[in-house]
Each structure stands twice: as C-alpha cells, then as structure tokens.
C-alpha cells in the first residue's frame, strides 16, 4: 500500500493526500506521539480525524505506519515518497494535499517535506496548518513555488495570524455563518485552500456531537473563548490571597 491515497471527497477533485494519525496517541511499540502540537482546545474538541473511518483498525494502522516511517527511517520515507511522486499519474503534474490529518509537527519534519516539494516542481502541494511560528521561520523566507498553505484557526498560535496578509481558514456551523463572516465556502472544492481567496470558510462536519459542541460559533471564536477563560483562571491563581477577583 502506497503512502499517497485518496479519500472520497478528494478523489472527486483529483487530489491525492498524505496522512498521519491525528493529534496525540500511542504507537504499537508503546511510544506516544503528538502530530498536532499547535492544536488548540477547539481543534482537539472538534477533530473530525479522531472519529468515523479514521478510527477503523486498518486505516489507523496505515496512518501509524506512515508516522513511524517518518520518525524512524526518514531517508527511506523520502525515497519511497519520491518514487510515488515519480509515477506516471504525476508526470504531467498533480495535486497533493499534505495531511488529511496531522500537521508539520517538528522543524526536521517540515524541512524534509519542503525538500520533497522542491524536488518535484511539476506537482502542486497544499496544506492546512496551525504551525504558524514554524512556517514564519522555515517557509515564508523562501517558499517552494509549488507549495500553497493556509493557516487554520483553532490553534494555540491563533494570535500570530495576521488576517490582513495571511491566507486563513476557519470552521463555521453552516453556510450562512460563512457568508456572514465574509469568508468563501470550500464546500464544493477543497482546492479553495490552495487557489482560492484569502479567507476560506469550512462548514462543520455533519457529525452530530461535534456540531453540538461548536454550536453557533466559529472555531476561532470557540478557541478565543477558551483562551480568555484560561487567562482568567491564571489571573485568579496568581492573585495574592484576599485580593479582589473582579
């Protein structure tokens, strides 16, 4: 089984994808991992890649194999990925979403990915990411021309996003909320993340318990509420005994 696959939605638009296991877990050998270290409380609470087909044993095992290859045999990973990118289906170009789940979890991993992107300039790669600080340092100074990225809200680094110059994605409860916020919906094509306008709105996945958690907020609003609540708790804990709490 190859490293690149196609889920149902991406197959419709001719996109292939590479996937890691989402967020945190434990590998079969007992090691723990976190592929989304910048995921905030909102993202962790609403993660679509921790429910449904992503939890099926065969699917989960494949994603874990991908991660173990990246961690334990990076040169083998690069060689195997390069071989797939050199296949006939990509000879005249192609579209690859990097991470249907997971994120650029370390400097070393991101640099390895950038090396692969640069080595295959005829293929367009794109990704959603919450690793804003890492991208500021390692990508923005010299981005591969064939790599498109979009910063997604709901992470611990939301405050680093500059909506006046960054391309951004946010999750909304429905199409009406997307339009009201001045975003463009990617309901019809995920390629808006690569080629669309600077503000991309994603309708909430139709998973009842996740939609209930989101309510009528966007993911950025949900994360901002959590951050404000956490800041207030820290303020109260730091206050000297007997000090006013209001």
- Residue 245 lies inside a defined structural domain of this protein: no
- Residue 65 lies inside a defined structural domain of this protein: yes
- Residue 77 lies inside a defined structural domain of this protein: yes
Beta-carbon count within 10 A of 58 CB: 8
Q: Splitting the chain (246 residues) into consecutive groups of 10 residues, what average pLDDT does each group show?
A: 89 95 93 95 87 88 96 97 96 95 97 98 98 98 97 97 96 96 94 94 90 92 92 83 60
| Alpha helical stretches, state H, the chain | 8-12, 41-46, 57-72, 74-85, 107-119, 132-138, 175-180, 192-195, 208-214, 219-238
Half-sphere exposure of residue 85, counting CA atoms within 13 Å on the CB side?
24
- Residue 244 lies inside a defined structural domain of this protein: no
- Residue 51 lies inside a defined structural domain of this protein: yes
- Model pTM? 0.92
- Residue 181 lies inside a defined structural domain of this protein: yes
Which strand (E) or helix (H) includes residue 184?
strand 184-185
- Residue 44 lies inside a defined structural domain of this protein: yes
* Number of compact structural domains in the chain: 1
pLDDT the model gives residue 245: 53
Parent domain of 23: 4-237
pLDDT the model gives residue 243: 60
- Residue 243 lies inside a defined structural domain of this protein: no
C-alpha 57 chain-centroid distance = 22
Q: Torsion angle of alpha carbons 117, 38, 224, 19, nearest 10°?
A: 50
Residue owning tokens 């000297």: 240
pLDDT the model gives residue 232: 87
pLDDT the model gives residue 55: 87
Alpha-carbon gap, residue 81 to 91, rounded angstroms: 14
């Amino acid at each position: 089984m190859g490293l690149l696959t196609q889920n149902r939605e991406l197959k419709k638009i001719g996109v292939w994808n590479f996937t890691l296991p989402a967020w945190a877990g434990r590998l079969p050998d007992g090691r723990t991992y976190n592929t989304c270290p910048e995921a905030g409380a909102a993202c962790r609470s609403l993660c679509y890649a921790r429910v449904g087909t992503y939890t099926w044993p065969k699917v989960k095992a494949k994603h874990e194999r991908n991660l173990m290859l990246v961690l334990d045999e990076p040169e083998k990973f690069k060689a195997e990925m390069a071989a797939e990118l050199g296949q006939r289906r990509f000879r005249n170009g192609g579209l690859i979403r990097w991470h249907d789940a997971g994120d650029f979890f370390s400097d070393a991993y991101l640099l390895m990915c950038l090396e692969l992107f640069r080595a295959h300039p005829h293929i367009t790669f794109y990704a959603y990411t919450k690793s804003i600080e890492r991208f500021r340092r390692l990508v923005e100074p010299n981005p591969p021309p064939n790599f498109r990225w979009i910063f997604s809200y709901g992470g611990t680094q939301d405050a680093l996003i500059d909506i006046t110059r960054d391309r951004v994605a946010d999750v909304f409860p429905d199409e009406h909320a997307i339009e009201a916020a001045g975003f463009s919906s990617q309901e019809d094509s995920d390629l808006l993340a690569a080629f669309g306008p600077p503000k991309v709105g994603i309708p909430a996945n139709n998973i009842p318990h996740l939609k209930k958690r989101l309510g009528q907020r966007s993911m950025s609003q949900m994360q901002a509420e959590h951050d404000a609540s956490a800041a207030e708790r820290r303020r109260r804990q730091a206050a000297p005994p007997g000090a006013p709490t209001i």
